[in-house]
Amino acid sequence: MHAKIGHTTVEGFISRDDRDAMMRASYYILTKNFTKTINRFVVFQEGKQIVQIPHGIGQRSLYIDILIRYFEELEEYEKCSKLAKLRAEVIEFGD
């Protein structure tokens, strides 16, 4: 089980527990409020440090795909369903 971001494989860089915590934190940030997510796609936040994906470069839906695959492997299909709805909205409003 590993997440692939571009050409970088996350496995081996962080522990399984840390990866799980990161994926879950990202899921909760993105799905908390779809409108805010569409406007400002924050994928991780710790204190004042924020990681976000800019609008219009086609990477937002790809990031959501990574999350969907991750939660599919864990058989957490409700999360996958919610992420699929978010993905559709992201694409509709200009990935």
Contact 64, 80 (CB under 8 A): no
The per-residue pLDDT string of the chain (95 residues; one tens digit each, 9 = 90 and over) reads: 444 444 445 556 788 999 999 999 999 999 999 999 999 999 998 899 999 999 999 999 999 999 999 999 999 999 999 999 999 999 999 88
Q: Please tell me the predicted confidence (pLDDT) of residue 94.
A: 86
**pLDDT given for residue 13 in this prediction:** 77
Q: What is the mean pLDDT of the chain?
A: 88
Cβ-Cβ contacts under 8 Å for 4 (sequence gap 6 or more):
10, 66
Q: Residue 8 has what pLDDT?
A: 46
